[in-house]
Amino acid sequence: MGEQCNKMIYRGRLQGSSQCVRKGVVERDGRSYCKQHDPVARHERAKARQEKFNREHSAKKEAFRLARVAPELLAALEAVIDLAEKTPGTAYTISGSVMAQVRSAVAKANTSRKGRTEQ
């Protein structure tokens, strides 16, 4: 396997293409390839890059989705608090622990929103 890598590399307009100067260490379909240009290894690296991108993209996509609906959720929680305070003893009564969680979430959201607008 002392042959040179068979991959042709484009080196710019002035130099054009030339053969990779590395020694071939893998043989695929009767051709020698270095570790960088081995078609199987290249495919695996590309697949790993794509999977990493998909993971990061899905996390960003979820964060944008939540950011888009957060104002509506905050308004709904504030409406629940108002309704529960205005109509005690009706079907809109919420247990104390749940109401405390709702108030805490609304207070936290309002605090972080104020911090963002002041920056």
**Domain spans of the chain, in order of start:** 1-37, 38-118
d(CA 19, CA 5): 7
Residue 77 CA to residue 18 CA, distance in Å, equals: 66
How large a percentage of the chain has pLDDT more than 90?
42
For the stretch 58-110, pLDDT in tens is 999 988 888 888 888 888 888 877 777 777 666 556 666 777 777 788 787 77
Alpha helix positions (H), the chain: 39-86, 96-118
Which 3 state secondary structure label does DSSP give 72?
Answer: helix
Tell me, yes or no, if the pTM score tops 0.85. Answer: no
Instruction: Name the one residue in this structure whose structure tokens are 């108030």.
Output: 103
